[in-house]
Structure formats: C-alpha cells, structure tokens
Amino acid sequence: MDGTLLDSEKLWDIGVRELARELGHEMTDEIRHALIGSAGPDAMRIIFTGLGLEPTVAAVEQARIFLERRVAELMTGAIPWRPGAKDALAMVRAAGLSAALVTNTKRSLAEYGLDTLGRDFFDTSVCGDEVPVGKPDPAIYLRAAELLGVDPKHCVAIEDSPTGARAAEAAGCAVLVVPCEIAVPAGPGRVFRDTLVGLTPADLLQVRRAVA
C-alpha cells in the first residue's frame, strides 16, 4: 500500500521525523530508509536503536501511540496515488483476477488508505497486526494467498521496498518491483518496472513466467 499504490511514505516520513524530535533527536536518512516497509514492532526497534535510546516498554509504547496518532491525522482525507496505480487496480479487476492488499501497516491505519483506494478493488486484505510476524517474514503473503484460495506460486506480488520483496519471494510469489523511496536490489525472483503506468495482464503473466 504505502509507496506501491499510495504516495503515503511521505506522510510516514513526516510522522517518524516528528517522533524523533519528540524523543529529543533528529532522524537521519539512514534510519528513515531502514524503516521503509518495516512492521510496527520492527520500526520501533529500528528507531530506538538508531537514535541510541533505551527501548523500555513504557517508552516504546508512548512512541508507538504518538506515531500512530500523528500518521492517522496525516492520512485523514484523500491520499495521493502512485503513478498508474489506480489504472492498474482497475485493469486487474477488468481482467477477472483475484487481488489482495498486503501491507505491514496495522489495520486501523490501513483503513485510511482503503478509503482512498476503494475496497471494491480487493477480494481481501491482510495487515501487519493480523499475522504473528510482519514482512520480511512470508506469513502475511501466505495468509493472503490462503484467503484468496490460490497457491502463492501462482501469485504476482507488487512491491516497492526490499522488505516487501523479501517477504513475497519467501512466500513463493513472483515479484514485480516498482521502487519508490529507496532502491531495491536485483534478485532471481524480481522483475523491475519504473512505474505502474500502462501495466497489462500480459505484463503480469510475463513476471510470473520470468521466475517459473
């Protein structure tokens, strides 16, 4: 969702940098880039470790509440789309393909994104707080495939981050990578594209065949 379909990583950027200042520090680009695509618990660990802070239970919980409230404020209202994303979702629907939204964002925040995206584009959705471990663990993609009633090996995942690409690969999905904020390394199960503009069913089939 964030960075793949919606240009919401910029909203998260505001939130995490404000959190760092709330904690008495400035967020470095290195820490910020490490956060992209990470699940909530991992994000807190990265922030506290990167800022050299003691991750006490109380401090982490206070930081989590601050960040979630701030991001919820920023996500209220329409969120900008990534180039070609809306047309790509419509294409998937028109082609009769099943689709799942798979995001490390927790459900309460993902619902703001779905307000912009439109729930009719998806047969199901799985969020980071609905699996035991978020991306890069494959559990979230395995759960999505299970809910769709399909084998992960028959799926194409569209991802923008190294964390997401690793999760999809580990689940057995082919991966179409459309980088957003940070570069994603090449890999044997990854096909790259600059944007989702002009994406077709044939393109998705080509991604699947490239790693079959």
In this structure, the answer to whether residues 113 and 198 fall within a common structural domain is: yes
Which of 75, 107, 132 is the last residue in one of the domains? 75
Residues 173 and 122 in one domain: yes
Cβ-contact 163, 36 below 8 angstroms: yes
User: Is 201 found in the same domain as 130?
Assistant: yes
Rounded to whole angstroms, how far apart are CA atoms 159 and 72?
A: 23
**Same domain, yes or no: 57 and 125:** no
Contacts 24+ apart (CB under 8 A), 203-208: 203/176, 204/92, 204/97, 204/156, 204/176, 207/156, 207/174, 207/175, 207/176, 208/154, 208/156, 208/174
CATH assignment of the domain containing 105: 3.40.50.1000
Domain that holds residue 63: 9-75
Q: Are residues 117 and 186 in the same domain?
A: yes
- Hey, what amino acid is at 77? G
Map residue 40 onto helix, strand or coil. Answer: helix
Identify the CA nearest to 104 among candidates 42, 148, 153, 182.
Answer: 42
Number of domains in the chain: 2
54 and 111, same structural domain?
no
In a domain, 1, yes or no: no
For residues 145 and 99, membership in a common domain is answered with: yes
Do 36 and 95 reside in the same domain of the chain? no
Q: pLDDT 10s per residue in the chain (212 long)?
A: 999 999 988 888 889 899 999 999 998 988 988 888 777 778 889 999 999 999 999 999 999 899 989 988 998 878 999 999 999 999 999 999 999 999 999 999 999 999 999 999 999 999 999 999 999 999 999 999 999 999 999 999 999 999 999 999 999 999 999 999 889 999 888 999 999 999 999 999 999 998 76
Does the CA dihedral 70-71-77-82 come out positive or negative?
Answer: positive
Question: 4 in a domain, yes or no?
Answer: no
Dist CA 178 CA 72 (whole Å): 25
Residues 59, 116 within the same domain: no
Residues 92, 35 share a domain = no
Q: Which of 31, 56, 75 is the last residue of a domain?
A: 75
97 inside domain:
yes
CA–CA separation, 43 and 39 (whole Å): 6
Distances (CA, A) of 164 to 44, 51, 96: 18, 24, 25
Same domain, 195 and 126: yes
- The structure tokens 């090996």 sit at 153
Q: Are residues 116 and 203 in the same domain?
A: yes
